[in-house]
Structure 1
Amino acid sequence: MSTSTYAASGTDQPLNSTARVATASFIGTAIEFYDFYVYATAAALVIGPVFFPQGSATAQMLSAFLTFGIAFLARPLGSALFGHFGDRVGRKSTLVASLLLMGICTTLIGVLPGYDQIGAWAPILLCVLRFGQGLGLGGEWGGAALLATENAPKGKRAWFGMFPQLGPSIGFLAANGLFLSLAVLLSDEQFRAWGWRLPFLLSALLVMVGLYVRLKLEETPVFAKAMAQHERLKLPLVELFAQYWRPMLLGAASMVVCYALFYISTVFSLSYGVATLGYSRESFLGMLCFAVLFMALATPISAALSDRFGRKPVLVLGGVLAIASGFAMEPLLTQGSTTSVALFLSIELFLMGFTFAPMGALLPELFPTRVRYTGASAAYNLGGIVGASAAPFAAQKLVSLGGLSWVGGYVSAAALLSVLAVLCLKETRNEDLSLVK
């Protein structure tokens, strides 16, 4: 493969090197998902007592999970906002802006006083910053996926689209690894007083690295060609809902299984494992760090398979296995064996990586260039409302009503929804992204 990609119009103008595309699409999503997972982990461990000290431990946990869900409600708005500018102005500048917003909000959460210091303002400001996190992430993934796929050579879009899909694994590993280190090095009192803030503050340094990489980028060749042919729309969102609402909704439904697998097996399971199963915070975080390696392993495997056999066969296979995995939740988590818990987490996160990897190519392939940023982002983030925003909260309610088997049923139902949506989509492996549809 040559060291540079070239404009799709056939000019000799070199654009982004393969290494630069891979690095920029990967590092941005790794940082953004690090920011997001830092909050998810903190929500399971400490957000409730610090910002919602009144009420029982269960009420605190439910309040923390509600603030967790706020960001998912903001993500579709972020996809509309950043998607508009991404389709109007370009992928590069929009990706820089989304990264900045996410990093600033995450850092500010790290210095936000708790309820004991500023009273009701603490949870209010927390919700505002959490909303900002959601806006930023709403614009991040779509741009990173387009950066990868619009620079990809023929027949390699899923492989290139894998790089932003690896970001969540590394971001999660970094976030939980840091929390694990703090759990080992600090006492519970120190961790609750100030230690939990350190991962949020570290985000500022990571964002500087991400900005440096992204500012070195050139615009993608597919978008540059579209602009040369005057294909820019005044309101991409209007055309998306007018002409491409069906692939947007089916794409969103196909994403639900990814979100449900991930957030049930991490955020809910972490809370349940510590509060109910009796694991220490550091031991359960250690199991999650081990299990997420299987998510990272599944990502390139699934990407390579979807380039060879198509997106639909790989996603249907992963979805069917995910349906079956829901039935394994109660027996594996209630055996009282660390091995069985680690096995369940590893299975769920492997399946998450397996179903998540092809999405980096599939969702951009569903839309023409002029609405691709908006459409891919909208599908990705609308799926999060169904699959993730309420998942930890709903799981907490379901386990109190019917036990873990009901939570497993939630996972299976989410996977069934995604399988049905994928079956309704056309195969997109051979789509030409530079063509107007």
Structure 2
Amino acid sequence: MSTKTALLSETASTRAPGNQSKRSSLAGFIGSALEYYDMYIYASASALVFARVFFPDAGATGLLYSLGLYGVAYIARPLGGFLAGHLGDRFGRRNIMILTLLVMGIATFLIGCLPSYDSVGILAPTMLIILRLCQGLSVGGELSGASSLTLEHAPANRRALYTSWAINGIWVGYILATLAFIGVAALPEEQLVAWGWRVPFWLSAVILIVGLVIRRTVRDTEAFTTEKELGTTAKVPLGDVLRNQPFDVIRVIFAAFLVVISTTVPVYGLTYATNVVGIDASTMLWVVIVGYVVALVTQPLMASLSDKIGRKPVLIGGNLFGAAAVWLFFWAVAEANIPMIFAGVLLCVSIGFAATNSVYPSYFSELFSTRYRVTGMAVGLQLGLVLTGFSPVIIQAISAANGNAWWPAAVFTSVACVISAIAIASGRETYKTPLDRLGVTR
């Protein structure tokens, strides 16, 4: 038995209470709920009211500016991933999870306090950009830290299932955000623009407090503690991962294109349906909620399936299924066919994307060694997600140049899903690899 293996065994038996795997899953769940509640209330606000609040003089291009600001956070996400990875791989996963939660919660609450353009002029969108960048920094490190912590605590044969609860937290955040906006969207137009949109941002403080309480109960993992006690933690994690596993970082960048569907369907779909087709906003918000609620059931099932048959079949199958399903969804939106819109969301979000979304956190984490796991996943994932953040504004520009056509959204999403499937197919299978052998490429 190697010194590292012996120390890992001793650490596991003396330091980690049996419920740490469940606590880390719960911490990931609550933290992701806050992070993505915050992200999605911004997305909903940008689609529904921000053009009038922050860009009232921009006319028809106000919506384009508003959607562009949605993508601003994605510029900061790679930097957030780098910072979170560096701190998480050097000083522990738990601390970075607490930090990301605080930054996101405070930035979101402050967005709800911002004055309008009519009150302070250009200062209003400027402050919005700054707070949006803070949100991006936070979310850039959230999932990689939570996934690494949960993966390293989880039972060997259920790593994807345990890790998937952070993803289920994302859906809960989306559901809560959508419900919040359904409530405020029912307000008279004047009240919605004046103060109603602020309420969902202020409510994020409740989730923040709950998340901080739970995350303080979680300990760092045995795998990380072992590296720390042996003195083998990476001094410069980014340099180590680029030197030892550069192709896995590149693989994650392109595999991360799978997330594009989660932006084009609920975010751009909402924008297109309400602003071009004229479907009532509350109807589309309920469509999204139904898709997310069903995904809460299908995602753990997909994760469990990947624990049994492997990560790659589920990820590749989900990508290809989603690439086909988006055509039904966007056609249905263009035709204002509400039953088919519901069907399209269930196929795109609750089946296709649920398959990829529930498995990629474990797969991306498993590609990398413990020494730089958070960095490898965070940097690769966040660089890949830059395309995701700007997909609504890219599609909006292409669609506007083609008579507000719906097909650019379907083409863009399908291509992204196929690229992701190819990147995943090029990688190795990891679901049976022991924790201390993950990241070993030879």
Shift of 1:175: 0.3
1:80 & 1:422 partners in 2: Cα distance? Answer: 22
Given that residues 9 and 225 in structure 1 are in contact (C-alpha distance below 8 angstroms), is that contact kept between their aligned partners in structure 2?
no
Alignment correspondent of 1:325: 325
Alpha-carbon contact 1:82-1:139 (below 8 Å) kept: yes
Question: 2:226 corresponds to which residue?
Answer: 225
In 1, the alpha carbon distance for the partners of 2:333 and 2:48 equals 19
Q: How many residues align?
A: 428
Q: Kindly indicate whether the alpha-carbon contact (under 8 Å) linking 2:319 and 2:353 is maintained by their aligned counterparts in 1.
A: no
Q: 5 Å matches for 1:207-246?
A: 207-246=208-247
Residues 251-302 of structure 1: CA deviation (Å, up to 9, x unaligned):
1211212x21111111111111111221222221111111212322221121
CA contact (8 A) 2:329 2:340 kept: no
Q: Which of residues 109, 112, 127 is equivalent to 1:125? A: 127
> Offset of 1:304 from its aligned partner?
0.9
- Tell me the residue number matched to 1:67: 69
List runs of 5+ in structure 2 lacking aligned partners: 1-6
> In 2 relative to 1, CA 330–24 (structure 1 residues): closer, same or farther, beyond 3 Å?
closer
Q: Deviations over 1:68-112 (max 9, x none)?
A: 111011001001011101001001111101111111111110101
1:222 counterpart SS class: helix
Distance in 2 (alpha carbons) for counterparts of 1:79 and 1:433 = 22
CA contact (8 A) 2:37 2:176 kept: yes
Distance 2:247 2:116 in 1: 44
Report if aligned partners of 1:325, 1:348 keep a CA contact under 8 Å in 2.
Answer: yes
Instruction: Please point out which of 91, 103, 110 is paired with 1:101.
Output: 103
Query: 1:74 and 1:300 mapped to 2: Cα distance?
Result: 30
Q: % of aligned pairs identical? A: 32
Which residue number corresponds to residue 359 of structure 1? 360
Deviation of the 1:223 alpha carbon? 0.8
Q: Quote the RMSD (CA, aligned, Å).
A: 1.6
**CA displacement at 1:331 relative to structure 2:** 2.9
C-alpha deviation, 1:32, in angstroms? 0.7
Secondary structure of 1:32 counterpart: helix
Letter in 1 for 2:241: L
Other-structure match for 2:337: 337
Distance 2:84 2:92 in 1: 10
Residue 224 (structure 1) shift: 1.1
1: CA distance, partners of 2:220 / 2:42: 32
- Work out the CA distance in 1 between the residues paired with 2:217 and 2:304: 28
CA distance in 1, matches of 2:253, 2:142: 16
Structure 1: unaligned runs, 5 residues or longer? 1-6
- The separation in 2 between residues aligned to 1:349 and 1:265, in whole angstroms, is 8
Kept in 1: contact 2:367–2:430 (CA 8 A): yes
Which residue of structure 2 lines up, in the alignment, with residue 392 of structure 1? 392
More divergent stretch after superposition (188-197 vs 329-338): 329-338
Contact 2:160-2:304 within 8 A present in 1 as well: yes
Distance 2:155 2:372 in 1: 21
Q: Is the 8 A contact 1:148 1:163 kept in 2?
A: no
- In 1, Cα distance between equivalents of 2:414 and 2:206: 39
Shift in Å at residue 335 of structure 1? 2.9
State how far apart, in whole Å, the 2-side matches of 1:144 and 1:87 are: 12
> Residue 4 of structure 2 aligns with which residue?
none
Matched to 2:406, the amino acid is L
Instruction: Tell me how far 1:330 sits from its aligned partner.
Output: 4.1
Name the structure 1 match of 2:373. 372
Aligned AA (2:249): M
- Identify which range, 240-249 or 65-74, moves more after superposition: 240-249
Q: Distance in 2 between matches of 1:93 and 1:382?
A: 23
- CA deviation digits over 1:382-427, x for unaligned, max 9? 22112x1111101212222341112111111001100110111111
Identify the match of residue 54 of structure 1 among 23, 46, 57.
57
1:301 matched to 2:285? The reply is: no
User: Residue in 1 aligned with 2:249?
Assistant: 248
Q: 1:8 touches 1:434 (CA, 8 Å); kept in 2? A: no
User: Which residue of the partner structure matches residue 164 of structure 1?
Assistant: 166
| 8 Å Cα contact 2:78/2:379 also seen in 1 | yes
C-alpha displacement at 1:14, in angstroms? 4.1
Conservation of the 8 A alpha-carbon contact between 2:332 and 2:338: no
Report how far residue 203 of structure 1 moved.
1.2
Secondary structure of the 1:218 match is: coil
- The 2-side partners of 1:70 and 1:240 are apart by 27
Larger mean Cα displacement after TM superposition, 94-103 or 396-405: 396-405
3-state SS of 2:431 partner: coil
Whether the aligned pair in 1 keeps the contact of 2:238 and 2:375 (CA below 8 Å) is yes
Go from structure 1 to structure 2 and tell me whether the alpha carbon gap of 1:283 and 1:330 turns closer, same or farther (over 3 Å shift).
closer
TM-score, normalised by the number of residues in structure 1: 0.95
